[in-house]
Amino acid sequence: MNFLERLFGKRSSAETAKQRLQLVLVHDRAEIPPGVLALIKDDIIAVISRRVNIDREHVVVNVTHEDKASKLVVDIPLLSGTDGQAPGRSGSNAQRSTRRTPSASS
Amino acid sequence: MEEKVITVTSGKGGVGKTTTTANIGAALALLGKKVVVLDGDIGLRNLDIVMGLENRIVYDVVDYVEGRCRLRQALIRDKRAPELYLLPTAQTRDKTAINPEQMVQVCDELRKEFDYIIIDSPAGIEQGFQNALAPADRVLVVTNPEVSSVRDADRVIGLVESHEKGPVQLIINRLIPARVKKQEMLSTQDIMDVLSTEIIGIVPEDEAILSSSNRGTPVVFNGKSPAAIAYRDIARRLIGENVPLTQPQTTSWWQRLLGKTE
Ligand SMILES: Nc1ncnc2c1ncn2[C@@H]1O[C@H](COP(=O)(O)OP(=O)(O)O)[C@@H](O)[C@H]1O
Ligand SMILES: [Mg+2]
Number of Cβ within a 10 Å radius of residue B251: 16
| Helix intervals (H) in B140-248 | 147-162, 177-181, 188-195, 207-215, 226-238
What is the structure's pLDDT at B255?
62
Cα-to-centroid distance, B96 and ligand 2 (Å): 18
ipTM: 0.80
Mutation site for A-interface testing, chosen from B164, B185, B188, B190 by largest number of A Cβ within 10 Å:
B190
Residue B215 near ligand 1, beta carbon < 6 Å: no
Question: Which pLDDT band, with edges at 50, 70 and 90, does A10 fall under?
Answer: confident
Distance CA B126, CA A86 (A): 53
Distance CA A92, CA B140 (A): 57
Just give the CATH number of B5-257: 3.40.50.300
Assess A68–B contact: CB distance below 8 Å, yes or no.
yes
Question: Which pLDDT band, with edges at 50, 70 and 90, does B261 fall under?
Answer: very low
Tell whether the model's pLDDT for residue B262 goes beyond 80. Answer: no
Query: Pick from B150, B182, B193: which is nearest to A1 by CB?
Result: B182
The predicted-structure confidence for A11-63, as pLDDT tens digits, reads as follows 889 999 999 898 888 888 877 777 888 889 999 999 999 999 999 999 998 88
The average pLDDT across A66-90 equals 70
The predicted-structure confidence for B172-197, as pLDDT tens digits, reads as follows 999 999 999 999 999 999 999 999 99
pLDDT winner (highest mean) among A90-99, B125-134, B248-257: B125-134
More confident residue, A60 or B114: B114
What is the structure's pLDDT at A95?
38
Distance CA B130, CA B119 (A): 12
Q: Domain locations in chain B?
A: 5-257
DSSP-derived pairing of the beta strands B116-120 and B168-175: unpaired
Query: Left, alpha or beta for B124 (phi > 0: left; psi -120 to 50: alpha)?
Result: left
In terms of Cα–Cα distance, which of B186, B181, B143, B174 is closest to A22? Answer: B186
Q: Domain locations in chain A?
A: 32-84
The predicted-structure confidence for B44-87, as pLDDT tens digits, reads as follows 999 999 999 999 999 999 999 999 999 999 999 999 999 999 99
DSSP state of B239: T
Residue B17 near ligand 1, beta carbon < 6 Å: yes
Distance CA B159, CA B56 (A): 35
Distance CA A85, CA B93 (A): 71
